[in-house]
Amino acid sequence: MSLLIDGKAYAAEVEGELTKRVEVIREKSGKAPVLATIIVGDNPASVTYVRMKGNACARIGMASLKVEMGKNTTTDELLAKINELNNNPEVCGILLQHPVPEQIDERACFDAISLEKDVDGVNSAGFGLMSMGFPAYVSATPLAILSLLLHYGIEIEGREVVVIGRSAILGKPVAALMLNQNATVTIAHSRTTNLPQVVRRADIVIAAVGKPSFVKADWIKKGAVLIDAGYNKGNKGDIDMENCAAKSSAYTPVPGGVGPVTIAMLMKQTVSAAEKLFGIQ
């Protein structure tokens, strides 16, 4: 029998704990912590994600400040806005919704978010610190994956983890987190040769490819743990879970797996940032 890793239930548990922490912040500081969300342009998926994050803030008693910028915004304009939010004492966390329109230097903007407010863990200096095992806010989806594995008591140390995908916000940081947990980590990508054979080694497969049902059942070692970070049109993950789940010992569904926990981790890091900013520990 394969265990369904229930991200929705775990996210609700995390939100319950965060609601209590936000209550304490509000009592002691007299203020609701604010997460600033910046959206540039009107990409419908981004609009939905930002709305979901605003709703999550409301559920745990936090405030959100929605900053909407036009699709022709320049890098300098966005940098100026980030700088303003960095210096706004009411704002505890800043989220810049990815992707931004192509004329914008997204990396420069991510790196302009101050480390104290980078609750979505996109700053490359924060990534460096995290990779070295020092405290830093972590990219939310990788943190969600680690938290789910730990919550479900899934052993990581000494196990073969294959991460498929090497993006700056997902594949690379999740690989670093797994390495810091003493896993033996392989990062596969579009130039990897014989991917099915690489994936067959894995005790834990983490799929972060962005292609629906990409990972096939005959790539999966019996008893492997399957973590599907993918989210594609039609509520499809990156793993063909319909056919893969039966071979696994545990798996995350799409939807209801990694996604809800990603938002919960963003909230958790924002609450931590607020506690630090208001001097509440």
Provide the binding-site residues for ligand NAP, judged by CB under 6 A: 141, 164-167, 169-171, 188-192, 195, 208-211, 229-232, 238, 258-259, 262
Closest CA to 281 of 28, 9, 16: 28
Cβ 83 to ligand NAP shortest distance, Å? 26
Nearer to ligand NAP, 9 or 80 (CB): 9
Which of 6, 111, 118, 120 is labelled catalytic?
A: 120
Which of 6, 53, 81, 269 is labelled catalytic?
A: 53
Closest CA to 59 of 119, 28, 29, 14: 14
How far apart are alpha carbons 69 and 50 in whole angstroms? 13
DSSP secondary structure of 51-108: HHHHHHHHHTT-EEEEEEE-TT--HHHHHHHHHHHHT-TTEEEEEEPSPPPTTS-HHH
Amino acid at 251: Y
Cβ 1 to ligand NAP shortest distance, Å? 25
Which of 6, 81, 97, 268 is labelled catalytic?
A: 97
Q: Is 97 a catalytic residue?
A: yes
Nearer to ligand NAP, 25 or 143 (CB): 143
How far apart are alpha carbons 266 and 137 in whole angstroms? 9
Q: Is 120 a catalytic residue?
A: yes
Nearer to ligand NAP, 86 or 232 (CB): 232
Q: Is 66 a catalytic residue?
A: no
Cβ 216 to ligand NAP shortest distance, Å? 12
Closest CA to 178 of 157, 148, 192: 157
Catalytic positions are 53, 97, 120
